Structure 1
């Protein structure tokens, strides 16, 4: 429940706004018309790196607009908005210490924390490090204009990953200066306060935002506090030129980690933590409580971009840099740490990262059509000062003890790329190539367990080809193919087997992607996207051992992913609109290994998942409501498919929105109820956990509500 002062604050603000809302609804004041229910065509920058009609791209790409991101949500987790995208499984793990769990066409499902296998980008600044590990918590959803989600072959043009690209684009400051504040709250002591300002003055557009989110957490030992800041400046100091400065900050102190639980514990109480059976002093105390599992995070990043038009040509320069500091206490027992000379129960690292992306696009007439070619160079670098400690002193756990690790980990990547597109008549032909090189270097300063200094280099060339044919103005068909690769992340290289040091012998997984699809506009009011795809992968990385929060990996197998995606957006008239997103995916090991038989399902990947929405808005745009359905089939927790899988589920969500205007004031309110029928289900899985603590429960029926007031000066 919300703390009393939070309830009073929300109730008071509703009381203040209610009379104004009633007056605004009754008065004949102009109200801005509602945005289109769903544009039949949208402009994107993913896949081509230039503004491009998504309808004319030979790629599977969906756009989540600002209304879906900001209206009817607390804007804390991108997973809520991404649920409407086919091919994607985006899970809120109810664990802010480990971030969201996102997979695309089955890539990334095994990630122990954060996102891997899917490249994350925020306003052109990578939220993914050179090794492929990313953190979606760096996204600022309060100022989001849209999220572009690219899947399939064309994601290979972004380099080291295989599943896709998720790119957040925030709004530019423009128009009259506006100050806005939003207060929201909900179940499990969740609350958020956001204040932002935006506008333009003296040729400078500005967007400023600050927020605080608090939650007691649905699961035991899952409380969190998140402070975020955001700033964006845009200006045009020269004709045809645009300068953009963007900065993000994230701070989470003592974010509790509830850990996973066994199937027996989940059935007994989905909210409970796993009992520590080795604790003889305090029986029935959970592992999370005994070891005080938690994480402190400090993340700051900034980027500076210059875009210059030269007629139809364009130059893009982007430089960025940042710092990430993490201190994490894990549930490692004394015996576990004693048995493994390379493990400590406390992770402590200080990471500096920076990079640049430079590309030039030129447009020429060719063969009766238009040829657009982009050539560029992408550079990334990160350096971790990393230490590890025992998580105990004497008989007290959850405190920083003796040093067990001290090293410098350096990653660097340098990727030249080229991409070209020819448009002529009914054809759009696209090709691209990128050569990725990743260097990993480790300088070990803790020699009591041996010298783990060393390194490994990875390199791969990823070609992409695509062709789109316009059967008529409302129907396009396409085909595309690519070679992709996915290097081990730094965290996947940390351990070998059950007790060894760095695993420099891990190879990159290589993949071949094929896709055919169709895009149609029916009756001028319905947009349909459909795709069939296949991905074959060799040297797939799989979990070798996972215990106490430490996971090691190995190259083990070939895999096969075959599937279909369909999305439908329809304006039904009378203020009604509908959205449907369906995915069918067969993701299996195409080659057996160890106890894993050929044909076994990839863990963490459901056979099918879907999203459906029926929404309504009145003609004035003052009121709206929607019902949402989210469904998924079962998913296995480990490679052999021998353990109890997370069962399939289907839930229904509902929301109501309202908005009013009164002179320079604009008010908004929303109420949302998730899991309306109070279903119990497993929301996410910790893949391959040796202790069989795979399961992370999702909340039952829960609610949230919010109100905002904005003043335009």
Structure 2
């Protein structure tokens, strides 16, 4: 039976708090906007939110994957598949753990623009870490203020160009034929700023058939028309051509050759090409009465993916082939008004807004063979237009009453799927379905001491099926219009404490009850079908500790414990899944620690450790679990200045002790190929130069 027993250690936290209650000089936490929509100290907000600044997220790191930046956030599990065709796997308190590709169930935002499709499926690869200013991560009930499919929120902010113009060039080499080159320019003044960044990344991959080439471009122009307004225009581009997909391995295959690709991946030359382009505009203006914020975006995404569906499995007329080919056009707008009312002894801040997001896929499916030649585009087997529309009005209120802060929100989420089937030789699969739900949130925090806040929050959430989950979940692989959305109720209590003048602690206890959880019903012939399970329950604890031990030494610690189980029996693929079985893909315990040392200007070094307990890989919990593992990474960074020039060098070693481990799992794979091995010891060296104009 799962138990959380803080009674033995929690009282000791209050001893240093009481000693410094009368005279605290602790510097306030950095401001965040995620969760509250207005700038506020994360210290006073009644929910779990963490801010990671660019220095912590990127210095001494390759700058390729978002996984590099998120290890210090409790509640998140970030699994790097070492498979650039399928992107990272990220879960937040269990939301998103079953995603077979990309990120689902977590709202991804970059400068206010969704990186998630309106159906909840998103990709982190489109964001440019080189231009990062900060990342804000929200977990818990208040994530639902961002609409459907928001089990958590990861919001990225790019920096504005400022200061004297400067140009930079960086290059790096790493194990497994990996290299990266970046060139950038930026600068600005009190009227305008700009930043331009271009990077090229390529790798042979740790495993066979896992090579990738990624080209990214990011450009941003920031204008200040007057003292009260700000306008930002941005463009981002991702070209990812012919990225190889090694697929998962069975446990026997892992033992025989952990660096191998699945035989079917080689047979069909599984690969993926992505061309993504996006424009965005952000406008903010302050008035005497409040602040107006508006975000408008538009873009295109073209994907061609060659899968390994066997030829025989494509014989039924209902099969849509083994090649996915679609072109997506998407756009959206988000408007909000933030108004503060000074009530004398209290302050009331009200935010009202409306988010509209739309995407349209012109999607075709083709056989992945011509005669006896495999891995080529063959006959047309699918031709349809898929539209997803999301419309969500919302209102939030924050009331500051001295030591007491109250927060409330209400959002109406409406997500509509519309399918126009134009390939009628196998029947008409056209139709539509609309999901609607009101999601309220409530929270309160109270300052027991100047250095101790306690809080509680509650909320309801909605998670719709994604377009991919709907596509084959009906009878005979038809569109699964009968799938229900998953609805959840979350409760969180916690504290935020300052244990000393340079140490902060966050502790959260949470419970999440979900009805109609979406799970894999079957996976065969390269297709996964989904169904609604009965009920699930997730209970857990999160602990984050950040401390500046001295002027030169800094430490971070993040611990998560979670018990995620099915709370009712259900049947999946002819098998009884019993109450009490563990949800796959969610580790019971994760631990992250980092110790960073900067003894002199121009030199810094850090070591980080990561522990993850075993992972169940399917609902019956009978298949071999992915074993627990602990990894250590080390890095050192050097910097020299010579007039207008700044030089830097980086040396990094990942998996310092050369452990063998499973980096991520493919939940519910019908062929038993659940496991994606992580790389052994790997080195990385980089160097760069920057020139700043007068």
Match of 1:246 among 219, 223, 234: 234
State TM-score, norm by structure 1.
0.92
1:190-209 residue pairs with structure 2 within 5 A? 190-200=178-188, 203-209=191-197
Secondary structure at the aligned position of 2:55 is classed as helix
Distance in 2 of aligned mates of 1:424 and 1:668? 49
Matched, 1:521 2:501: no
> 1:40 Cα shift?
5.6
Matched, 1:691 2:668: no
Name 1:137's counterpart in structure 2. 125
Name 1:577's counterpart in structure 2. 554
Specify every segment of 5 or more residues in structure 1 that has no aligned partner in the other structure, as ranges. 1-37, 275-285
Name 1:641's counterpart in structure 2. 621
Distance in 2 of aligned mates of 1:598 and 1:447? 42
Matched, 1:61 2:61: no
Matched, 1:589 2:566: yes
Distance in 1 of aligned mates of 2:342 and 2:214? 51
Where do 4+ consecutive residues of structure 1 move more than 3 Å?
Answer: none
When the two chains are superposed, the root-mean-square deviation of aligned CA atoms in Å is 1.3
> 1:64 Cα shift?
1.6
Name 2:202's counterpart in structure 1. 214
Specify every segment of 5 or more residues in structure 2 that has no aligned partner in the other structure, as ranges. 1-25
Matched, 1:474 2:451: yes
Name 2:295's counterpart in structure 1. 318
Secondary structure at the aligned position of 1:188 is classed as coil
State which drifts further: 597-606 or 663-672. 663-672
Are the equivalent residues in 2 in contact too, given 1:119–1:128 (CA < 8 A)? yes
Are the equivalent residues in 2 in contact too, given 1:614–1:626 (CA < 8 A)? yes
Are the equivalent residues in 2 in contact too, given 1:123–1:246 (CA < 8 A)? no
Name 1:110's counterpart in structure 2. 98
> CA offsets, 1:177-222, max 9 Å, x none?
0101111110101110011111016822001000000000001100
| Compared CA separation, residues 340 and 186, structure 1 to 2 (3 A) | farther
Aligned pairs, how many?
Answer: 664
> CA offsets, 1:24-46, max 9 Å, x none?
xxxxxxxxxxxxxx976111110
Name 1:302's counterpart in structure 2. 279
Match of 2:586 among 605, 625, 641: 605
State TM-score, norm by structure 2.
0.94
Distance in 1 of aligned mates of 2:215 and 2:678? 24
1:66-145 residue pairs with structure 2 within 5 A? 66-145=54-133
1:357-436 residue pairs with structure 2 within 5 A? 357-366=334-343, 368-436=345-413
> CA offsets, 1:648-704, max 9 Å, x none?
000111111111211111122111101111100100000001100100000010111
> 1:316 Cα shift?
0.5
Secondary structure at the aligned position of 1:236 is classed as strand
Name 1:50's counterpart in structure 2. 38
Distance in 2 of aligned mates of 1:686 and 1:76? 22
Distance in 2 of aligned mates of 1:111 and 1:587? 16
Matched, 1:562 2:542: no
Distance in 1 of aligned mates of 2:84 and 2:417? 28
Are the equivalent residues in 2 in contact too, given 1:40–1:525 (CA < 8 A)? no
Distance in 2 of aligned mates of 1:596 and 1:498? 22
Distance in 2 of aligned mates of 1:584 and 1:496? 33
> 1:705 Cα shift?
1.4
Secondary structure at the aligned position of 1:156 is classed as helix
Name 2:599's counterpart in structure 1. 618
Distance in 1 of aligned mates of 2:214 and 2:586? 29
Are the equivalent residues in 1 in contact too, given 2:28–2:41 (CA < 8 A)? no
> 1:139 Cα shift?
1.1
| Compared CA separation, residues 431 and 655, structure 1 to 2 (3 A) | same
> 1:72 Cα shift?
1.1
Matched, 1:667 2:647: yes
